[in-house]
Amino acid sequence: MAKKRDYYEILGVSRNATDAEIKSAFRRLAKKYHPDVSKEPDAEEKFKEAQEAYAVLSDKNRRKQYDQFGHAAFSGSGGTGGFDFSDFDFSDIFEEIFGSAFGFPFGIRTHSHRKRRGADISVRMTITFEEAVFGCKNKISLDLLDTCDKCDGRGGKGEKTCSNCHGSGSITQEQRTPFGVYLTRRTCSVCGGEGYEFESICSSCKGTGRLNKTKEFTVNVPAGIDTGQQLRLAGKGEAGEKGAPPGDLYIEFTVLKHDLFIRDDSDIYLELPLTITQAVLGDKVDVPTLTGKVKLTIPPGTQDGDKHRLKGKGIKSLNSNRVGDLYVITRIIIPKTLSKEQKELFEKLNKTNLDNDKAFKIFREHLK
C-alpha cells in the first residue's frame, strides 16, 4: 500500500497555516481538479485527496489530532486508512466556489440535502501527576444532543413519500439567461430535503430525532498522557441528524504539578537536598522514584547542581514502549543557624586551608 501523503503537502500549505489559508488552498484545488471540470486523468483521485485533507485540517480538533499523531489518529475510521470524510458537508464551500444563484454549471452534482453527522464535543479534564503517569479511569457527565429514544431518531412514524418533491428531496427549476439555460436545484421546503414526510411527528423530539440528554462516560486515560494532549473517543459526540453518524468526543488534559517531581516529556527531575558533610564526604541515600525508593551513591566532593541519571525510572511514552529516565539534581543546603558546637567545628575547619581549590587561586590572582 502506498504511503499516504501529508495533508499539509496535499493542500500546499505550511503546518502553521491559518484557517483562511487552508480554505483558500482547498478552493484552488477544488476548482482545478473537480472531476466535472478537469480533464486530467488523475483529477478524481487528486480531488478526493484534497477533500480528505480539507475535512481534517479545517476542523480544530481533527487538526490537533493529526498534528499530534499523523494519519494514525484516524486509522480504522475510513476505508483508505485515513479520515472518513464521507459525512463531511462540503456544500457551503462548493457553493462559494461554483456559485448557487444559477445552479451549478458544468454538470456539477450536489446533494439536495445531506444528513449532517453529529457535532464534535471538546471538554477539558484535570488529572493528577500519578494518574497521568500510570493511567486511570475517570467518569465525566456531559449535556449533549442524543438520539430520541421514542422514535429511534427518525423524527416520527408513518413515513410516506413527499407529495411536493415526489421523494427526490429537491425541486428543480429551469432558468433562462443570456448565457444559456441553467437548472437550479433547491431543497424541498415541505420535507426539508428528506424526500419523505411523516403521518405523525414524534411528540418527544418534535420531529428532530434528537433530544438534549445528560450522559455519563468512563474515560480510560492512557498512561503517559501530558498537559495539552487530546484523547479522541470516536462516536461519543452529539447524535447525527436522523441516522447520520455521531460526532466525536475530544478530551484535552491538564496534569497537575507534583510537589517533588518535575516532568519533561518522558523524563522526570527531582532535587535531592544534601548536607554539607554529605556533599564533602559522600553518602548513600534513599531516593524516591515512581515505583518506590532506590539507593543512590553520592560520591565525595559532590557539587551543588550535579546531575545523577537513573535509567528507566522515568515515564512510559504515550505512543511507544520507551521509558524515560529520572534525573537527580543535588542541592547542598547551607544551614542558616548553627548551634555553638557546630559553629566551633566550622571555625576549626576554616583554619585547615579549604581554599586551595583552583577557583580560589584564579580569583586571588585578580586581586593583586
CATH code of the domain containing 90: 1.10.287.110
Q: Within this chain, do residues 220 and 128 fall inside the same structural domain, yes or no?
A: yes
Q: Within this chain, do residues 72 and 89 fall inside the same structural domain, yes or no?
A: yes
Q: Within this chain, do residues 289 and 353 fall inside the same structural domain, yes or no?
A: yes
Number of domains in the chain: 3
104, 111, 166, 179, 188 from 170: Cα distances, Å: 14, 9, 9, 24, 5
Q: Report yes or no on 155 lying in a domain.
A: no
Per residue in 127-145, pLDDT tens? 999 999 999 999 999 999 9
Q: Within this chain, do residues 139 and 247 fall inside the same structural domain, yes or no?
A: yes
CB 70 within 8 A of CB 46: no
What pLDDT does residue 192 have?
Answer: 77
Q: Within this chain, do residues 142 and 213 fall inside the same structural domain, yes or no?
A: yes
Domain boundary among 31, 66, 101: 101
Q: State the amino acid at position 305 in one-letter form.
A: G
Q: Report yes or no on 136 lying in a domain.
A: yes
Domain boundary among 256, 287, 321: 256
What pLDDT does residue 106 have?
Answer: 39
Q: Within this chain, do residues 251 and 358 fall inside the same structural domain, yes or no?
A: no
Cα 220 off chain centre by: 16
Q: Report yes or no on 123 lying in a domain.
A: yes
What pLDDT does residue 101 have?
Answer: 41
Q: Within this chain, do residues 85 and 47 fall inside the same structural domain, yes or no?
A: yes
Q: Report yes or no on 5 lying in a domain.
A: yes
Q: Within this chain, do residues 241 and 295 fall inside the same structural domain, yes or no?
A: no
Q: Within this chain, do residues 21 and 141 fall inside the same structural domain, yes or no?
A: no
Q: Within this chain, do residues 237 and 354 fall inside the same structural domain, yes or no?
A: no
Give residue 329's domain range.
Answer: 262-365
**CATH number, position 244:** 2.60.260.20
- Rounded to whole angstroms, the Cα distance separating 84 from 198 reads 31
What pLDDT does residue 366 have?
Answer: 85
Q: Within this chain, do residues 128 and 243 fall inside the same structural domain, yes or no?
A: yes
Q: Report yes or no on 173 lying in a domain.
A: no
Write out residues in the chain with pLDDT < 70, as ranges: 1-2, 36, 75-115, 176-183
pTM above 0.75, yes or no: no
Q: Within this chain, do residues 131 and 248 fall inside the same structural domain, yes or no?
A: yes
Q: Report yes or no on 167 lying in a domain.
A: no
Q: Report yes or no on 175 lying in a domain.
A: no
Domain boundary among 256, 283, 318: 256
Q: Report yes or no on 194 lying in a domain.
A: no
What pLDDT does residue 91 have?
Answer: 55
